[in-house]
């Protein structure tokens, strides 16, 4: 079966320019060789520290940024090679939601105008546009009378629902969700996540869910890809990643997840990473994680580890010395 979205060798390098003549003196390797695959009705989460390339990857997937190299195959068509006219027609099938629901909504437009805008752009508003807007607002849990109000009149959770209604206007098959609940209170986060899961079941949507919050990721994901310094270091099902992580970076991230423990019996080992994340303009040789890894040996500096399953646990990780820890966060 053909995947809904397949990414092969995706790169995005931003030039560093200096001097009066703005000559290029280097480049920032924000995304550096990413491979991903997602099927219809599936949620693939991208996780990692801030600055690892998650959001840049999300923008590349919907071609808000132009890739430096690689393929973005959506239903078999390479989005990286489409003309602007071809891309506009294809964009009806995939949309993106941003982290800040207030900054991503125009303060000069009513909710009616915000949700209707994609329909107008694609020439679909004349055919039942007002009814479609009402249907979308009800779908995300808002009342039709909200359509006459402006974004600043709503709470953060309601604004994110407006953004979701807008993203669903053209009946997409894929949504890229870039930190969609990080700006919301915990109780509101749960409401939005549950709504996303309900819409996925009802509409058959696929999600690329970008987040640094592993507790949320554990709740919504089918599969997880862990990013570090522009590359995928481990990928697998939710159970694979949360119950049997093999990459040291994944293990460190999971060890930091807070666990409710009133009795104080949490015996998990906390892993504190040494040093700072290296600059993406000058990444380490070999394994990019080696400068912060407690397992690093000479081979780690000489050879970049391939993303493969070395120890037979059923999912790949890019580590020369992978192992399953005795105590992890649980699925």
Which two three-digit tokens encode residue 292? Answer: 């912060």
Give the 3-state secondary structure of 31-65: EEEEEEEECCCCEEEEECCCCCCHHHHHHHHCCCC
- Residue 251 CA to residue 239 CA, distance in Å, equals 14
pLDDT 10s digits, 200-215? 999 999 999 999 899 9
**Domain ranges in the chain?**
247-257+267-331
Beta strands in 160-220 (DSSP E): 174-178, 206-210
**Entry field: residues in the chain:** 331
pLDDT 10s digits, 118-167? 999 999 998 899 999 999 999 999 998 999 999 999 988 899 999 999 99
Helices 129-139 + 111-121 axis angle, to 10: 120
pLDDT 10s digits, 68-108? 999 999 999 999 999 998 998 899 999 999 887 778 888 89
Residue 327: pLDDT band with limits 50, 70, 90: low
| Mean per-residue pLDDT over the chain, rounded | 91
- Residue 157 CA to residue 195 CA, distance in Å, equals 11
- Residue 119 CA to residue 179 CA, distance in Å, equals 25
Residue 283: pLDDT band with limits 50, 70, 90: very high
Cβ atoms within 10 A of the Cβ of 210, count? 28
Residues 6+ apart with CB under 8 A from 244: 313, 315, 324, 328
- Residue 45 CA to residue 237 CA, distance in Å, equals 10
Residue 306 in this model has a pLDDT that exceeds 80: yes
Cβ atoms within 10 A of the Cβ of 3, count? 17
Antiparallel, parallel or unpaired: β 223-228 and 231-237: antiparallel
Mean pLDDT of 263-283: 79
- Whole-prediction pTM: 0.92
Instruction: Find out whether 208 and 38 touch, Cβ atoms under 8 Å.
Output: yes
* Measured CA angle at 166 (ends 165, 167), to 5 deg: 90
Read off the DSSP letter of residue 183. T
Which two three-digit tokens encode residue 161? Answer: 């629902």
- Residue 30 CA to residue 27 CA, distance in Å, equals 9
């Amino acid at each position: 079966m053909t995947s809904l979205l397949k990414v092969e060798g995706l790169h995005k390098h931003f030039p560093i320019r200096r001097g009066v003549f703005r000559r290029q003196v280097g480049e920032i390797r924000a995304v550096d060789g990413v491979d991903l695959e997602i099927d219809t009705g599936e949620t693939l989460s991208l996780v990692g520290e801030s600055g690892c390339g998650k959001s840049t990857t999300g923008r590349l997937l919907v071609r808000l940024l132009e890739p430096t190299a690689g393929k973005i195959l959506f239903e078999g068509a390479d989005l990286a090679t489409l003309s602007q006219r071809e891309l506009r027609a294809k964009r009806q099938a995939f949309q993106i939601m941003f982290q800040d629901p207030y900054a991503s909504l125009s303060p000069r437009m009513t909710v009616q105008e915000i949700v209707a805008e994609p329909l107008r752009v694609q020439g679909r508003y004349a055919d039942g546009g007002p009814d479609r807007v009402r249907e979308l607002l009800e779908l995300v849990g808002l009342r039709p009378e909200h359509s006459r109000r402006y974004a600043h009149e709503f709470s953060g959770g309601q604004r994110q629902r407006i953004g979701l209604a807008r993203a669903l206007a053209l009946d997409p098959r894929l949504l890229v969700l870039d930190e969609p609940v990080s700006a919301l209170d915990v109780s509101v986060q749960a409401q939005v996540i549950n709504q996303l899961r309900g819409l996925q079941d009802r509409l058959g949507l696929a999600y690329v869910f970008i987040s640094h919050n592993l507790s949320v990721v554990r709740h919504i994901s089918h599969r997880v890809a862990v990013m570090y310094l522009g590359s995928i270091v481990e990928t697998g099902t939710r159970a694979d990643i949360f119950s049997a992580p093999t990459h040291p970076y994944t293990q460190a991230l999971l060890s930091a997840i807070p666990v409710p423990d009133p009795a104080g019996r949490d015996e998990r080992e906390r892993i504190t990473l040494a040093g700072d994340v290296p600059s993406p303009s000058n990444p380490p040789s070999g394994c990019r994680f080696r400068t912060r890894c407690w397992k690093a040996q000479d081979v780690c500096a000489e050879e970049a580890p391939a993303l493969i399953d070395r120890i037979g646990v059923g999912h790949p990780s890019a580590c020369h010395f992978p192992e399953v820890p005795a105590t992890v966060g649980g699925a």
